[in-house]
Amino acid sequence: MHEKLIILDFGSQYTQLIARRVRELNIYCEIHPWNKCPELDESVKGVVLSGSPFSVREESAPIPDLISIKGKLPLLGVCFGAQHMAHHFGGEVMPSSTREYGRANLSFVDNDNVLTKGMSNGSQVWMSHGDTIGRIPDNFKVIASTEDVRVAGYQIEGEDTFGIQFHPEVYHSLEGTMLLKNFLVDVCTCTQDWTPDSFVEETVANLKSEIGDDKVILGLSGGVDSSVAAVLLHKAIGVNLHCIFVDNGLLRKDEFSQVLDSYKGMGLNVKGVDASESFYAELAGLADPEKKRKAIGKVFIDVFDEESKLVENATWLAQGTIYPDVIESVSVSGGPSQTIKSHHNVGGLPDYMKLKVIEPLKLLFKDEVRRIGRSMNMDENILGRHPFPGPGLGIRILGDVTAEKVNILQEVDHIFISSLKEDGLYDDVWQAGAIFLPIQSVGVMGDERTYENAVALRAVTSTDGMTADWCHLPYEFLAKVSNRIINQVKGINRVTYDISSKPPATIEWE
């Protein structure tokens, strides 16, 4: 049983970043809803209370049960978590006279305190709150302040219980990792032994135990997630893993044949299934993004139901679901976070499909998945591939999907991705693709007027997909790609470049 940190989620947009920072320190952690704290057995080394969109002064504010935690396990409250403890144990939280959001600087740091030791006076931190702690209980000690916030950090005397008003998990808190390491290593006494190798060893052992001699069907896409999931499962159950690669008609140019070829020599049992006509039929006339996603998901499951019947005694359906998929589709572990969009490979299966779901990567971020793959010596050409959405080009064609539009977008996308590779820019980009826009515009080619389609190019930098910034690709590169697309792809006379970040936009347009 691996030691771990528990993060209780109160709905903060930054909760998942806390988990990422903890994992980067080679310490395993889990996120759970504030009102569904798991059993605190001997493997739990400490607890973090996240921020929240709620105010502790609201009647509807979440009130966690800390009886089995406070004073018994190391406890760190971040933002809302800090305010909740100050408010609940006899202090006072009040509205800030000016809302403090963004960069701030510590004007006082107690370097004799175990949590803040080594941090600098003047250190930049990231604030995001509308309330402030006006008064702390008598047994609380201030250990950090800014010029505007006297209680930027505190410790309850005689306990390993701390609260901080700022967000150490955000990159803009320049010494945030130091503070988290102080808490995790010096207070919680975590051993920092959750490494890619240990994850592989533990996951393979768990898969062997859970699956036994059952047969598993896995949908391969050629992407990082499903490929790493396949290799993990293959290590655990060998020939009992049956991989299926479905051509939904929405893949990149020539991807179906290339993906099948890429798995040769890996020892995987892979079957290719061309179901493109079924997907096109289900998508006919659909323009709403959510309806398209659900239609694609429905056919995907129908195909797997049909294929599973051809594998005698198949019991499980494996999926390459990762943490951001889960977070954006449903509240994390049933928590209070907002649903942004559904993902086709997340959620329960219909009753008629008699397969249990297994998701070996569902608690990993994308960068962690790549590290796991490298620890298993997987091909870097697979691990280095940009993420590609499960619904494929179906959600990169705004409006209804037709075979003609898919053809056009495949050609545009091929030129964009090939050009990134040719110019040595591919590895500088986290994800790139083209979007077919539901508009036509006037153009001129030779002496003739045209009225044709427009596309948008999208390229972002990110570490985990939770946040992303648009790539500052060279103007000369964009000009070259635009010229190639307009000259080589019939039906396109205008190319645009998306310079939106996430948030407020998402990486995909649908």
* Active-site residue set: 79, 167, 169
* Selection from 492, 503, 217, 218 nearest residue 340 by Cα: 503
Give 101-143 as a DSSP string. Answer: EEEEEEEEE-TTSTTTTTPPTT-EEEEEEEEEEEE--TTEEEE
Contact partners, residue 116, CB within 8 Å, separation at least 6: 109, 110, 143, 144, 153, 179, 182
d(CA 84, CA 97): 19
| Cβ proximity of 242 and 318 under 8 Å | no
d(CA 298, CA 302): 6
> Which residues on neighbouring strands pair with residue 218, listed in sequence order?
243, 318
3-state SS record for 377-414: CCCHHHHCCCCCCCCHHHHCECCCCCHHHHHHHHHHHH
Number of DSSP helices (H) and strands (E) in the chain, helices first: 13, 18
At position 30, the amino acid (one-letter code) is: E
Angle between helix 196-211 and helix 366-375 axes, rounded to 10 deg: 90
Q: How many other C-beta atoms are found inside a 10 Å radius of the C-beta of residue 354?
A: 13
* Selection from 20, 81, 70, 83 nearest residue 40 by Cα: 70
> Which residues on neighbouring strands pair with residue 457, listed in sequence order?
434, 497
d(CA 361, CA 341): 20
d(CA 333, CA 17): 16
* Side-chain half-sphere exposure of 146, counting CA atoms within 13 A: 21
